[in-house]
Each structure stands twice: as C-alpha cells, then as structure tokens.
Amino acid sequence: MAPMWDVVERAFTGPFCEEQDYLSRRLIPALQAAVKRHRIKYDPATPVPWDDALADAVWQAAVELFLEAGVYHQDTHRIILFSEEEVREALYAAPESYTVGSGRDARTFGRREVEDARPPFCILSPDITYDEPLFLPVCLAYLREPLLDGFCAPVLESFLGEKIKAYTPLELGGSLEHAMSLREAARLIGRPGVFLVAVGTAESDSAQISVSQEGWGVRPTDSRLVGSITEFMTNNQLLNKAVHYRQYGCFSGSLTGAIYGGYAGGAEGTAVLETAYHLKGLLVHFCSYQQNFPFHLKYGSNTTRELLWVTSVYSQAIARNTRLVQTSNGFANAGPGTDMLLYEAAAHALASTVCGANLWEIATARNKCHNRATPLEARLAAEVGHAAARMRLTRRQANEIVLKLLQRYEAGIPDAPPGREFAECYDVAKARPRPEYLDQYRRVKRELGEMGIRFCY
C-alpha cells in the first residue's frame, strides 16, 4: 500500500475542493454513473442473492468509484487520490488473516469465502451506552459467551457520576476507566488474553492515544477503530488515530456505514459505496480489517429487506475479489426481550455468514436506547453463523430461510418494540440471563431449527 506518510502528504497537497462540491459534483455523480454503467439492480425477492456476476459488478463499480472520487479531507479541503496500480498493489499485499489476542485466548481472524464451511469469527458487542455501575457486569456477561472470539465493550455514559463530554478531561477519565475495567472483566472471567476492540468511550484522538498501554490498557494484540465521515471523508482527528495505531502496532478496523436513503441513494448505490469503503480503510486509514454497518436512513437498522440485500452483495463482492478481512455489524430495529429482535439477529447473521463475512453482533433498538442490549441475541446470531457454515448452507438456501424470517418481523419494523433494559433481562449480580429470557431464546432457537437451521449444539 502507499506508505503512511505519503498518504498524509496527499491530505495536504491533493486537489483543492469545497466539501459540498465534492459531494454533489464528484462523489454522487461518480457513484450514480458506476451503478448505471455496471447495470446493478436490486431485487426485493432475493435479499440473499446468489448471482456471482452481480457481486463482481459491484466490486468493479466500487473500484472505479474509489479511483474517480478519491477521499475528501475536511480540514484541508483536499482530495486524497490513488492510482489503479497502488490499489492493485495494496490488495495484493494485504494479509488475509491475523493472529489476534494472546496465549490460550489467541484466535485466527481471517477472510472468508462465499458459502465458506469455516465458521465466522464472532466479535460480540452491545454497541450502545451503559450506566457506569453496569459496565463491569455487562462485560462479564458478554465475555462468558462460548462462541465469542472478540469483544467490543459498551460505551460509558458517565465517569464518576458526571456525563462524559468529548474533548474534555472527563473523556480521558472515562476512557481510562473503560480500558481498565474491560481488562479486569477479562481476567475475572478467565480470558485474560481475549481479543478486545477498544476503547469505544474514547471519541477523540487524544483519548485513544492515552489508553495505549500494555499493562492496564489496550495492547498490540487488541484492536482499535477508525471511523469515517459521511460519506467518504476523513479529517485530522481520524488520521491521527490511524497513524497512532500503526505506530503502536495494534490491529485497526475501518468503521464505516454507508447510509441507504442518503448520498448513496438506494440499495444499489449503498452496496457499491460500502464496498468502496474497504479500499478507503485499507489505503487511507491503514486498517487491518473492515467493520461494516450500512444502515437505513429512516430506521437506523440494517435488517430490513433492502439492507440485507446490501449486506449480502457487498460481502460477496469483497469475498470473491479480494483477500480482505471483513466483519458485518448487525443493527436491529427491536430491543431485548422480544421475539422480533431474535428473528432479526438470525436473519442478519445468516445473510452475512453465507456471503463471506465474519460477524459483529448486534446493536439493538436501532442503537438508540441506553442500557438496551444483551449477550443472548448476540449468542443466537453467533450460533446461526456457526450452523450455516457447518451445514455448508448455500446462498439460495439461506435466501429461503431469510424470507421466512422477514415474514415474521418485516411488518413490525416501522413500530418496532424497544424491548427491555439489560437489568430486566439479566441478573446483574450474577451476569446471567433471567430464566424467562432464556426460555424465550430457546423457543425461538427451536423455531429456527424447524426452518432448516441445524444448530451445532
């Protein structure tokens, strides 16, 4: 790939452009032209398509978009551009797997193929803010999950009783507490070397840099995330993180979510843009893997029919045409304690797994409700992913099951129930699910078995 400091230099010397001009005159026209040129078309009847030519067309459109539009730097008003040769070189040189974590907790985190028989790497995460007293119990509850390969902890809402504000000393304090408590939880549960993605509480570059510490904080065997600005933009804060992670030597993930109904347009444009984000993560932010969460502008989820198609298509495009490591992050409409959430988790995990993605599960209640996510819905998603791989389920077969699941929850998406908070679903003191929630999970698991999913246990 292009050397790190060469990319930084381009952020200050690339073609000058105002932000709105970049969006309206460069990115959007290039995206629309690529979709039209490759005749990419969304089919609502196949939320999990099995058309290899479609996946390859989305890949070609994404490469053309990346080369033509470039990536916009907000602080310098410059466009970071790459040549086709640099893209090919970076794709060839990119590792297809990593050893993450340490000791007996070490795991291989690698790329997957379409309809791969290898189970997905499962990163479990509540993806939402929690009250300070709940942070440790929630971490313990997630780290108990047997199929967990990696863990991204919840975000702290407050520090020492004060609401955390980014770019203040409170953020530094909250980030410190997050890092130390997460490491403590891993030791307490007997998984001291487990792969951790941290620190979500640290929004700023300075807060992230402050917790790079092997003894009590984020280790080189762990991972960090570099986000993106909608759409296809970066800035100095993000590049500071990217450069620091590279220098510190930890793994890094490119956190991106193309917005269906926004600048990306419909399903076709969203799929192409999310695919192109993999190149941005690789070449601009120097990332080890891509963390994908495309979502619906209106609902804030990606378990709708359109977004399942988007997830399926970009996952196949990457799996068929690159060696890049990717994860698929579920965003559900319903909240914990509802059948709807469990159906959504199953649909997302199934579509992602058979199309070549690893799993990152699962944000609930549209990722908007404080204290509302539990390990049980993430457990179900991981079990579905493992079952689909072990069964060697095809995309066509997965599509049939996903259609059955959509029949059970699709009509409820506009008014999805927010569900219940963690403390209502789990015994906080023991960090274990309450009997009634466990019974509900088992009942839905039996229903999924009747639909054709043969669980591993």
- Rounded mean pLDDT, 46-69: 98
- Mean pLDDT of the residues in the chain: 97
pLDDT, position 3: 83
DSSP string, 364-386: -GGG-STT---HHHHHHHHHHHH
- Rounded mean pLDDT, 2-8: 88
Please, which residues bridge with residue 109 across strands? 98
- Rounded mean pLDDT, 434-457: 98
Measured in whole angstroms, how far is the alpha carbon of residue 3 from the centre of its chain?
Answer: 26
pLDDT, position 270: 98
pLDDT, position 303: 98
Please, which residues bridge with residue 152 across strands? 197
pTM: 0.97
Confidence of residue 2 (pLDDT cuts 50, 70, 90): low
Q: What is the tens place of the pLDDT at every residue in 161-216?
A: 999 999 999 999 999 999 999 999 999 999 999 999 999 999 999 999 999 999 99
Q: What is the tens place of the pLDDT at every residue in 111-126?
A: 999 999 999 999 999 9
Of 149, 124, 154, 122, the C-alpha closest to 136 is 154
- Rounded mean pLDDT, 449-456: 98
Q: Which residue has the tokens 């220098």?
A: 247
Please, which residues bridge with residue 76 across strands? none
Q: Is the pLDDT of residue 407 over 60?
A: yes
Q: Is the pLDDT of residue 142 over 60?
A: yes
Q: Is the pLDDT of residue 1 over 80?
A: no
pLDDT, position 304: 98
**Exposure string for 153-182, b = 16+ CB within 10 A, e = fewer:** bbbbbbbeeeebeeeeebbbbbbbbbbebb
- Other Cβ atoms within 10 Å of 263 Cβ, number: 17
Q: What is the tens place of the pLDDT at every residue in 318-343?
A: 999 999 999 999 999 999 999 999 99
- Other Cβ atoms within 10 Å of 306 Cβ, number: 20
Confidence of residue 253 (pLDDT cuts 50, 70, 90): very high
Domains of the chain: 97-451 (3.20.20.460)
**Going edge to edge, which strands form the sheet with 78-80?**
78-80, 71-73, 233-234
- Classified as helix, coil or strand, 71 is strand
The proportion of the chain whose per-residue pLDDT surpasses 90, expressed as a percent, equals 99
End-to-end CA distance of the chain: 43
- Rounded mean pLDDT, 287-294: 98
- Rounded mean pLDDT, 39-62: 98
Burial of 77: CB neighbours in 10 Å, binned 0-12, 13-18, 19+: middle
- Judge if the upstream peptide bond of residue 231 is cis by omega within 30 degrees of 0: yes
